[in-house]
Structures are given as C-alpha cells and as structure tokens.
C-alpha cells in the first residue's frame, strides 16, 4: 500500500504492475520451495546409496541410483523455471521508480510543488538587459554553425573567451566543492550496462543515451552515473556518512523533444 501511494504521487500509470510482481514472486517462491524439497530428497537418497552398498544390497543401491538420476533431471527442469521466474521478477522490479519522500505533495505540474525554503533575493534584471543568446553572438563566444558542420544539430563549438569561460567555470566549481569538503574524482566517461541500471538510466532511457554496441558500453549522461556506481552493490555504514564526492565530466545526452533542441 505504501508503494502504491508513492507511485500515485509520481503519477505512475501502470499500478497493476505491483500486483503482477507479487504474483510472479509467489510463483518464484513456490518453485524455490519445490526445488529445495527435491534437493533434500536427492541428498537423502544419495546418502542411502552408501549404506545399501555397505550392507551388500546391490540391487536396492542400483534402484536408489536410478531414483537419484530421475530427481536430478527434475531438479534441472525446476532450476530453469526458477531462473526464468527470477528474471521476470527482476525485469518488472526495474520498472518500478524510486518512491518519493512522505513529505512530497501529490501534483501534476510545478505549480503543485511545495517551497521548503528560500535563500537570498531573486535578482531583477536592469532595463535593456540582453539575453545570453544575443551576448553569445555579440562577443563571438560560441559558433553553432561550425558545431553543426563538425558534428550535427545541437552541438556547439566554444571559441576564444567562450572556451576560456567554460574552462574557468569547471575549475571554479571543482575548487569550490573541494573547499567545502568534497573529494574530487575523475571517472571514466563510459560505463557498463550494470552501472546504467544502477543509476536508473536503464531499462527505460536507452533512447537518451549513446550506446557503443561493439563493447556494450554507454557514454555517460552526467558525472553522477560513474561516481554513484563507485558504491554499487555496497552497503555504506552510517558511521561513514555523509559521502561527499565531486567530479567534472562531459555529459553525453541524446535529448528528446524541444528541450534538447533549445
């Protein structure tokens, strides 16, 4: 019920998925129980073989061997069914998003958001302020046309003071974070599929990522992906928290829709 409540807050459409997960997991448990029973039966039969041979009961020992063989074949069938059932459950679980905090209000747009706190004053632009896309042209900071020529639509070529500004901003933010107690990392710019699953890019955001099929690696959409995966499959003791990490990387994204175009 808590999961369903959280998913409703996120306007998750396929709520019946939770029922299907429970049903599939019940089947997995049933197969696991039957498989464990057969394993126990096989172990008991195998143990009996040695006793029967020691007692000179050769025919009965041979019959037990045949029984063990038959049980093993059935176990192999169950193992295949169990692996399939586990894959089905895992596949569905991957489609369930993280649940929001209980304090998060339900809503469908930014207007429904709750203001937690504000800091400082919102600046007011002076009359005649020029938007950044005009400043870019005025000071020749970014060459979009050549970026398109080199690569394609949506790619920019920073030049002169534009390139210097990018470099200075990267240095400024890293130094700022380090001074605030963060440890700097320089992670790989590609990750394996396990890492992409670990931070939620897979299984449903393949279309937003660049995939290198030959090596089955993905170009990272943010530094968050490789940095977070440093602790994938690990449990961090509370005494080690907070973990403060900072990194700069390029962000490779196949943005969809008008947001990417803009």
- Asked whether the beta carbons of 246 and 182 are under 8 A apart, the reply is yes
Q: How far apart are CA 210 and CA 215, in angstroms?
A: 12
Compute the CA torsion angle 105, 110, 116, 117 (nearest 10 deg).
Answer: -170
Residue-level pLDDT at 260: 47
In this prediction, residue 256 carries a pLDDT of: 57
pTM (2 decimals)?
A: 0.73
**Please, what's the b/e burial string for 54-84 (b: 16 or more CB within 10 A of its CB; e: otherwise)?**
eeeeeeebeebeebbeebeeebeebeeebee
Tell me the β-bridge partners of 185.
247
> How many Å apart are CA 47 and CA 61, to the nearest integer?
10
Token digits of residue 131: 């938007």
Output the pLDDT for position 190. Answer: 97
pLDDT digits (tens, 9 = 90+) for 158-200: 999 999 999 999 999 999 999 999 999 999 999 999 999 999 9
C-alpha span between 123 and 121 (Å, rounded)? 6
The pLDDT of residue 191: 98
Yes or no: say if 229 and 166 are a contact pair by the CB < 8 Å rule: no
Q: What are phi and psi of 220, to 5 degrees?
A: -75, 140
Report the alpha-carbon distance of residue 212 to residue 190 in Å, rounded: 9
| Model confidence pLDDT, tens digit, residues 189-233 | 999 999 999 999 998 888 889 999 999 999 999 999 999 999 999
pLDDT of residue 163: 97
What is the pLDDT, as a whole number, of residue 136?
93
State the virtual CA torsion across 88, 93, 95, 99 in degrees, nearest 10.
170
Instruction: Please report the pLDDT score of residue 242 as a whole number.
Output: 96
- Which residues of the chain, if any, have pLDDT below 70? 255-262
Cβ atoms of 196 and 208 within 8 Å: the answer is no
Q: Are the C-beta atoms of residues 223 and 247 closer than 8 Å to each other?
A: yes
Non-local (6+) Cβ contacts of 183 within 8 A are 244, 245, 246
């Amino acid at each position: 019920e808590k999961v369903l409540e959280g998913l409703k807050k996120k306007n998750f459409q396929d709520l019946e998925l939770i029922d299907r997960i429970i049903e599939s997991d019940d089947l997995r448990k049933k197969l696991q129980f039957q498989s464990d029973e057969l394993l126990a039966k096989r172990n008991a039969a195998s143990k009996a073989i040695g006793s029967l041979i020691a007692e000179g009961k050769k025919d009965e020992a041979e019959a037990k061997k045949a029984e063990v063989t038959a049980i093993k074949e059935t176990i192999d069938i169950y193992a295949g069914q169990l692996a399939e059932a586990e894959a089905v459950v895992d596949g569905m679980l991957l489609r369930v998003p993280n649940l929001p905090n209980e304090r998060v209000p339900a809503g469908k747009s930014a207007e429904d958001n709750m203001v937690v706190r504000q800091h400082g004053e919102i600046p007011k632009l002076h009359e005649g302020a020029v938007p950044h896309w005009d400043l870019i042209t005025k000071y020749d900071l970014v060459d979009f046309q050549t970026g398109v020529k080199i690569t394609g639509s949506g790619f920019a070529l920073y030049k002169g003071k534009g390139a210097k500004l990018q470099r200075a901003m990267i240095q400024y933010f890293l130094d700022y974070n380090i001074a605030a107690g963060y440890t700097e990392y320089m992670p790989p710019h590609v990750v394996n599929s396990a890492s992409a699953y670990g931070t939620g890019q897979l299984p449903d955001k393949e279309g937003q990522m660049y995939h290198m099929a030959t090596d089955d690696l993905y170009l990272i959409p943010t530094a968050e992906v490789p940095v977070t995966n440093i602790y994938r499959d690990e449990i961090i003791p509370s005494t080690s928290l907070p973990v403060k990490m900072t990194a700069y990387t390029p962000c490779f994204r196949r943005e969809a829709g008008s947001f990417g175009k803009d």
